[in-house]
Structure 1
């Protein structure tokens, strides 16, 4: 049994196709198939059910893949130990970022990070929270930036900042004249929300449920971006809630529509999350310190109430 064979097994388990798996690990398909067959013969078990399309893991194969992932990660740890001993911060680092954080946080820190750590090759992917959790657990991401707490076993959360919710309330809305709004003012009937899959939407629903016991079957209009929600609000279709960093680029003509909450201000917790057994801790720490440095000047709120991003259905 070799580490290389285990790499091949993990590739097939991921792609459910021998040809695609071979391309992923840069070998020919016959070579990959032969090595996996040799491993199955050595173990005297069948790892993959080749009669099914796409290829499926057998019951024993599922257990083997789980253990193979642990072994491959531990073998990578040797190089990681050497890198840390040398103080080397470099290599490929796969980072997932949720959509409601990507456009506002990334521009704040990415240039600083690239200049300070030029040997790190960041591969950044925009993913919703559920996809991030799955990819972290499967080893396809090194870390991610997401709203927390997520209550996921095996995933460590390192808080980066707390980002308040801000109301965007046009002149035609009943709450527009208020200097500050209260959570009790909210009504899901007239809040424009993001589409399913966005944890920021679930946070808003949780906020309203805590306040007045709303169910989540009131809203009817959903969109995929905050920009669209703002335009819809301007058309008199309701109000919306925005993350604080998103409001920093609001047009001058629309700033009067922004309304802060009364204390304690509802906020989301944004964290750098990663597998508890994660390697590349020197890169994770470099990311954390870089982001903390730039965000500290942008968000200074203290009295906040953290709203869970977890869907409470």
Structure 2
């Protein structure tokens, strides 16, 4: 039994296809199939039921796959121990970021990080929160940036910053003459929201204590773009709420429509999250330090009230 064989087993279990598993493992399909078969022969059991399409994992195979994940993680930890002992910060590091954070936060820290840590090959993927959690648990992401708290087993959350909600209210809106906003002023029926699946949408609904499913009287919007929400607001179709960092690059004309909340301002907690195994923790810590330092100056709000993205 070898670590390589266990990695191949995990690949087949994930992709349910030997050809695709081989492609993702950067080996030929005959090589991968032979190594998996050798392991099955050595153990005298069948890990995969090849008679089904897609391939399925047998009952005993499920137990072996679970144990293989532990063994491969522990093998990876050995390299981590050596890297930490040498003070080495480098190698591949896959980072996931949710869509409502990626466009504003990434430009703020990326250049600083890659300049400070040139030996790190940072691989960045935009994914929703549900996929981030799944991929962290499966080992496909080393860390992620998401709105928290998530309260997920096996996931560690390290807050990076607290980002206030800001109202975008055109002058002809019923709240257009207000200097500041209070949560009680909001009516979810005239707030333009992101499409289902975005945690910022869930945070707004939680803020307004509104149901998760809403239906408009005249239209239903499915958009993942804050820019679209702003443009629709300007057309008189309602107001919207924006994360604070999304307001920094707005044109002066649009900034005139921004309304800030009375303190404590509703805000979302943004955290660096990673698996409790803490693999590549030295890179995770370096990333956290860089992001915290560059964001600290951009967000000066102190008195905030955290709104959970999941209504917890």
Q: Same fold (TM over 0.5)?
A: yes
Task: Give the conservation status (yes or no) of the 8 Å contact 1:207–1:307.
Answer: yes
How far did residue 239 of structure 1 move? Answer: 0.6
Deviations 1:262-281 (A, max 9, x none): 11100000000000102111
Unaligned segments of structure 2, at least 5 residues:
none
Q: CA–CA distance in 1 between the matches of 2:116 and 2:70?
A: 32
Secondary structure in 1 matching 2:31: helix
Q: CA–CA distance in 1 between the matches of 2:166 and 2:79?
A: 45
Counterparts of 1:147-226 in structure 2, within 5 Å, are: 147-209=147-209, 214-220=210-216, 221-222=220-221, 223-226=223-226
Deviations 1:32-60 (A, max 9, x none): 11111121122222211212212122222
Task: Give the conservation status (yes or no) of the 8 Å contact 2:202–2:212.
Answer: no
Counterparts of 1:65-214 in structure 2, within 5 Å, are: 65-209=65-209, 214=210
How far did residue 193 of structure 1 move? Answer: 0.5
Q: CA–CA distance in 1 between the matches of 2:47 and 2:136?
A: 23
Q: CA–CA distance in 2 between the matches of 1:30 and 1:304?
A: 58
Secondary structure in 2 matching 1:194: coil
Task: Give the conservation status (yes or no) of the 8 Å contact 1:95–1:142.
Answer: yes
Q: CA–CA distance in 2 between the matches of 1:125 and 1:292?
A: 20
TM-score (norm: length of structure 2): 0.96
Secondary structure in 2 matching 1:249: coil
Q: CA–CA distance in 1 between the matches of 2:147 and 2:170?
A: 27
How far did residue 158 of structure 1 move? Answer: 0.5
Q: Greater CA deviation, 56-65 or 154-163?
A: 56-65
Q: CA–CA distance in 1 between the matches of 2:100 and 2:23?
A: 33
Secondary structure in 1 matching 2:284: helix
Question: Residue 30 of structure 2 corresponds to which residue in structure 1?
Answer: 30
Task: Give the conservation status (yes or no) of the 8 Å contact 2:18–2:32.
Answer: yes
Q: CA–CA distance in 2 between the matches of 1:51 and 1:302?
A: 60
Q: CA–CA distance in 1 between the matches of 2:23 and 2:87?
A: 33
How far did residue 246 of structure 1 move? Answer: 0.2
Aligned Cα root-mean-square deviation (Å): 1.1
Q: CA–CA distance in 2 between the matches of 1:26 and 1:299?
A: 44
Unaligned segments of structure 1, at least 5 residues:
none
